[in-house]
Amino acid sequence: MKNEFIRKETTIIHKGYSSEHHHDSLSVPLYQTSTYTFSSAEQGERRFAGEESGNIYSRLGNPTVRILEERIAELENGQSALAFGSGMAAVSAVLIHVTKTGDHILCSRGIYGCTFGLLEMMDEKYNISHSFSALSTEQEIEASIRPETVCVYIETPINPTMELVDLELVNKVAKKHGLKVIVDNTFSSPYLQNPLDFGADYVLHSATKYINGHGDVIAGLLIGNDVDDMMNIRMTVQKDVGGIISPFDAWLIIRGLKTLHVRMDRHSENAQQLVSFLQSASVVSEILYPFDPSHPQYEIAKKQMKAGGGLISFNIKGGKKAAQFFMNELQLIKIAVSLGDAETLIQHPATMTHSVIPEVEREKMGVSHSLLRLSVGLEHVEDIMADLKQAFAKVETHFAMTK
Ligand code: LCS
């Protein structure tokens, strides 16, 4: 059953690699090269003309990168994948590919701050507009579609509000109108959620997060089912805009990816326990976690996600002052904006990841100054809990909050 693995846990470790083609090396080799030699001028001509397969130049393809791409395509139940130098390079590549001047992009109610920035730039420079919608019912989606709409761009769960978008519903309505559906699956990773299974056309990831998982790489991935269309993105947008991944970063991700399933299970278990703990914290006014039965979209979560993942957002009483005071009192938990690492991280979206979004828009997305986002790491859950507990106690005392 060489390279025909069915279960994700096995794909994560083996897909796309046979040691006999690589000097019997168990570990995937790092092809740290910018270019490749041709045996003759005629061979070079044939490769450029597409008459002979083979390597040319690493902006067009690299053997280490290709193994990562094959592995990730399989993990997302797709046919083809492209690796990029950042999550934003993957976001921009797919949006450049599906839009032209005059088009409109329909977005989920919230999106990552830099994606918002990119959409604003596309609007200003190229007259490609966008709008936001909760996309929660068929009527609401229908009402948000304009004659010039070409695609629906979704995050689910949404960064940082943990609001969900019903993938089955959106794909059904979008297909009726011939719209492409693009899903940013960064928060779930391909182990917990596979949007292509619900009919999405493209799935993308900031591989910086759970996929690499070790806080040492910035990278992005784009996955699709239409092999010719994906090849078109590779040979136009990716080749000519140039946002490729370095072979070394691809190699690090292949290494990090090997434990994705083990990490995601532990991230989810730790988060689930912390949600129970947060429910007992009097300083917390609201907890946002998809697999918490009190989450208003819990039924959607169960339908499209295998587990809740490692991100919990919560609102703290006392607004920005209390939020920042609380963060500064944490000892084990680090103040940092990434997510999906072994270390537990906390950030304040209104002044950090989503600060580029004007306040009115940001508030509409549900990102207020009392919102904190916790990326639950892989430490012992009781150590994380103890750190939160001591910092909550200090907030209570400092702000004279009564229980
Ligand atoms: N999509 C989502 C949902 C993200 O959260 C991010 C980065 C990106 C795309 C872009 O990926 P990058 O280019 O950074 O690899 N999110 C970040 C965050 O929440 N904190 O720091 C970065």
- Which of helix, strand or coil describes residue 391? helix
394 CA distance to ligand 1 middle (Å): 31
Per-residue pLDDT tens digits for 183-235: 999 999 999 999 999 999 999 999 999 999 999 999 999 999 999 999 999 99
Residue of the CA atom closest to atom 11 of ligand 1 = 87
Residue of the CA atom closest to atom 22 of ligand 1 = 338
106 alpha-carbon distance from chain centroid: 18
pLDDT band at 166 (very low <50, low <70, confident <90, very high): very high
Ligand 1 test: best mutation among 158, 162, 208, most atoms within 8 Å of CB? 208
Q: Give pLDDT, residue 401.
A: 83
Q: Give pLDDT, residue 188.
A: 98
What's the angle, vertex CA 194, arms to CA 189 and CA 200, rounded to 5?
Answer: 125
- Residue 62, pLDDT > 50, answer yes
189 CA distance to ligand 1 middle (Å): 13
87 CA distance to ligand 1 middle (Å): 6
**Eight-state DSSP code of residue 35:** B
Q: Give pLDDT, residue 113.
A: 96
Residue of the CA atom closest to atom 5 of ligand 1 = 112
Domains in the chain, ordered, with CATH? 3-30+61-257 (3.40.640.10), 260-401 (3.90.1150.10)
pLDDT band at 122 (very low <50, low <70, confident <90, very high): very high
Question: What is 239-294 written as a DSSP string?
Answer: HHH--BPPHHHHHHHHHHHTTHHHHHHHHHHHHHHHHHHHHT-TTEEEEE-TTSTT
Per-residue pLDDT tens digits for 129-143: 999 999 999 999 999
Q: Which residues contact 22 (CB under 8 A, 6 or more apart)?
A: 28, 29
The size of the chain, in residues, is 403
Distances (CA, A) of 318 to 126, 205, 250, 282, 398: 42, 34, 43, 12, 11
CB of 87 sitting under 6 A from ligand 1:
yes
355 CA distance to ligand 1 middle (Å): 13
Residue of the CA atom closest to atom 13 of ligand 1 = 87
Tokens 């060489």 locate to 2
Q: Which residues contact 273 (CB under 8 A, 6 or more apart)?
A: 381, 385
The phi-psi region of residue 127 (left if phi > 0; otherwise alpha if psi is between -120 and 50; otherwise beta) is left
By C-alpha distance, which of 190, 224, 196 is closest to 210? 190
CB of 249 sitting under 6 A from ligand 1:
no
CB of 218 sitting under 6 A from ligand 1:
yes
Interatomic CA distance for residues 213 and 17, integer angstroms: 21
Averaged pLDDT of the chain: 97
> What pairing do the DSSP bridges indicate for beta strands 202-206 and 220-224?
antiparallel
CB of 313 sitting under 6 A from ligand 1:
no
Per-residue pLDDT tens digits for 21-55: 999 999 999 999 999 999 999 999 999 999 999 99
- Which residues are known to be catalytic? 59, 112, 184, 209
DSSP lists the bridge partners of residue 84 as 220, 244
- Residue 5, pLDDT > 70, answer no
Q: Give pLDDT, residue 403.
A: 59
pLDDT cut 70: percent of the chain above it: 98
Per-residue pLDDT tens digits for 327-373: 999 999 999 999 999 999 999 999 999 999 999 999 999 999 999 99
Q: Give pLDDT, residue 36.
A: 98
Q: Give pLDDT, residue 1.
A: 43
CB of 183 sitting under 6 A from ligand 1:
no
